[in-house]
Amino acid sequence: MNARRPHPLLLLPALLAVLGVLLPLVYLVLRALDAESSELREIVFRPRNLELLANTLLLTLGVLASTTLIALPLAYLAARTDLRPRRLLMLLGVLPLAIPGYVGAYALIAASGAGGTIDALTGIRWPGPGGYWGALGVLTLFTFPYLFLNLHAALRTQDPALEDAARLLGRTPGQTFREVTLPYLRPAWLSGALLIALHVLGDFSVVSLMRFPTFSAAIYQQYTAAYDRVYSAWLALALLLVTGAALLLEARLMRGVRLSRVSPGGTRRPTVLRLGRGAPLAWAALAVLAGAALIVPLGTIVYWLRLETNPFAWSSLLEAFQSALGAAAVAAVTTTALAFPLAYIGSRHSGPLARLTERAAYLGYATPPLAFALALVFFTLNVVPPLYQTFPLLIIAYTLHFLAEAVGPVRTSLLKATPRLEEAGRLLGLSAPQTLRRVTIPLVRPGLLVSAAFVFLSVLKELPLTLLLSPIGFETLSRNVWAYTEEAQYASAAPYALALALSGALLTLLILRREDRRAPRSAPTRPAPPAATPAPPKEGPA
């Protein structure tokens, strides 16, 4: 690590990112305090606040438990068993991520009840999802891939010597899994669980469609329907406190975790578990999951697409598609460009400044998007009114919120690229900007592309920032899906939902394929050379 101050070309955009994240949040606090003392007491001590807090925490904990029950067995089947084809299992674990939660909620609502897809095709009136259990089911089906990806990667890279040692000490397979494998998966689970928790805490679309009141749903209602901006600001601050508590809890649970290798040298493939007669049962469970997360939502969208007779929905589809792709492309470029100096400072420099810039990126991502959008609304209306509801403000919001998604892959690429190449460039007479352009950036180009792809996919699905900050008349796929679904016009929402799902699926497959190519291949286990037969172990206590 370099203790010197970073170059101004890197330091300036990093400081702008810190200010961009902190200033709206500071102004949100000032806006919340803009009330009389009697009004503040009434707002803070409303009984409804406790109800919203209980609902938000109950839903978050429920989704964490249910996603674990799905992601852990699926990851184990894909990484440690002889169930094949493995690529099919990977697709089942990843593709639901391409379907936004509000699209999944729309599809499941449109499939159920009288006149729904299931009723029209089979004559069975399947009860419609709603309330806590409806929100829990929808959020589980379309967020478990966050946990699956982390757990699958950890299971494939775990040192087999850990489990071998446990078996040699007399542990049964069940005890080995409980005492060795599960503790090893703890960091992967915490990382994925944090992403899911942040997603659930910031979601307002699914809970609104399911009529389950949480902090995010109440913020949207207060701002758009009741026009109570002081109360909505207080709700946003309460949600920020819950999010901050989740971040602190994750950091505390990760404290002291060490996962060093046991066996030196090249990695071995973990032992493959043969399912035998359990394979049909596993396939049955996977079929149910595929039906709920993929077949029913996509089939419902296609069914309602055939019933669409609204000419306006079809005529505006191309415009909405172009607007969504354009905004996602611009945001992907700006976010990746801003992520590079943050990642470079965090990986090449040490000290408080490096830690501050890195934490600022994650602060913007950890802030629920509805609260972040509300903070930007208050800030621009009072500081820079001409910027309110403009395309540049929307891009700024996308960039600051999704900055953490772009920093990760770039920082990983920088950590893999040795700084000695940059030092060699400086010794050959290159200036600092020339070294960045001719040496560093070519080395981290794969990480930059992955970062841009991640941000592009996230912006394409983003709804809260788009609803509150987009210019008047600016239509996107996500905005139109929400507008038609809120009015129960399922056929009109179908073209936008299908375009959004297919675009997300294509991007997800491209990212998965690229990451699969970059993933290191474990060396096959070579048979040991012939040797003398070892003596049997002596009997007695070890």
The per-residue pLDDT for 256 is: 57
| pLDDT for residue 293 is more than 70 | yes
What are residue 527's phi and psi, to 5 degrees? -70, 145
Q: Which of 127, 54, 137, 132 is nearest to 101 (CA)?
A: 137
Residue 421: which pLDDT band, with cuts at 50, 70 and 90? low
AA identity, residue 79: A
What are residue 488's phi and psi, to 5 degrees? 60, 25
Please tell me the least confidently modeled range out of 219-228, 265-274, 294-303: 265-274
The rounded mean pLDDT for the chain is: 79
What does pTM read for this prediction?
Answer: 0.80
| pLDDT for residue 6 is more than 70 | no
| pLDDT for residue 527 is more than 50 | no
Structure tokens at 248: 């602190």
| pLDDT for residue 508 is more than 60 | yes
> Of residues 171 and 391, which shows the higher confidence score?
391
Interior/surface letters 359-376, b for 16+ CB within 10 angstroms, e for the rest: ebbebbbbbbbbbbbbbb
Interval 259-270 mean pLDDT: 54
Structure tokens at 208: 């609104």
The per-residue pLDDT for 285 is: 93
| pLDDT for residue 500 is more than 90 | no
The per-residue pLDDT for 428 is: 66
- For residue range 100-115, what is the model confidence (pLDDT) as tens digits? 888 889 888 888 888 8
> Of residues 232 and 479, which shows the higher confidence score?
479
Highest mean pLDDT among 157-161, 197-201, 246-250, 309-313: 197-201
| pLDDT for residue 287 is more than 90 | yes
The per-residue pLDDT for 539 is: 39
The per-residue pLDDT for 541 is: 37
Q: For tokens 């040490």, what's the residue?
A: 350
Highest mean pLDDT among 43-57, 331-345, 386-400: 386-400
Interval 285-313 mean pLDDT: 84
Q: For tokens 């109440």, what's the residue?
A: 218
| pLDDT for residue 170 is more than 70 | yes
What are residue 81's phi and psi, to 5 degrees? -120, 170
The per-residue pLDDT for 60 is: 94
Q: Output the CA–CA distances (angstroms, integers) from residue 11 to 16, 345, 357, 360, 391, in the order listed.
A: 9, 8, 9, 13, 26
The per-residue pLDDT for 536 is: 42
| pLDDT for residue 326 is more than 80 | yes
Residue 239: which pLDDT band, with cuts at 50, 70 and 90? confident
Residue 515: which pLDDT band, with cuts at 50, 70 and 90? low
Q: Are 347 and 414 a contacting pair, CB within 8 Å?
A: yes
User: What one-character-per-residue DSSP string does 375-421 give?
Assistant: HHHHHHHHH-GGGTT-HHHHHHHHHHHSHHHHHHHHHHHHHHS-THH
Structure tokens at 495: 């073209």
The per-residue pLDDT for 522 is: 44
The per-residue pLDDT for 530 is: 40
- If phi > 0 it is left, if psi is from -120 to 50 it is alpha, else beta; for residue 429 that is left
The per-residue pLDDT for 416 is: 65
| pLDDT for residue 130 is more than 60 | yes
Highest mean pLDDT among 183-192, 196-205, 226-235, 327-336: 327-336
- All domains of the chain in start order, with CATH: 1-34+317-474 (1.10.3720.10), 46-254+282-294 (1.10.3720.10)
The per-residue pLDDT for 61 is: 95
CA distance 391 to 334: 13
- For residue range 173-213, what is the model confidence (pLDDT) as tens digits? 777 777 778 888 888 888 888 889 988 988 888 998 899 99
- Name the percent of the chain lying above pLDDT 70: 82
- Name the percent of the chain lying above pLDDT 90: 15
AA identity, residue 366: A
The per-residue pLDDT for 516 is: 60
Please tell me the least confidently modeled range out of 14-28, 53-67, 317-331, 425-439: 425-439
| pLDDT for residue 265 is more than 70 | no
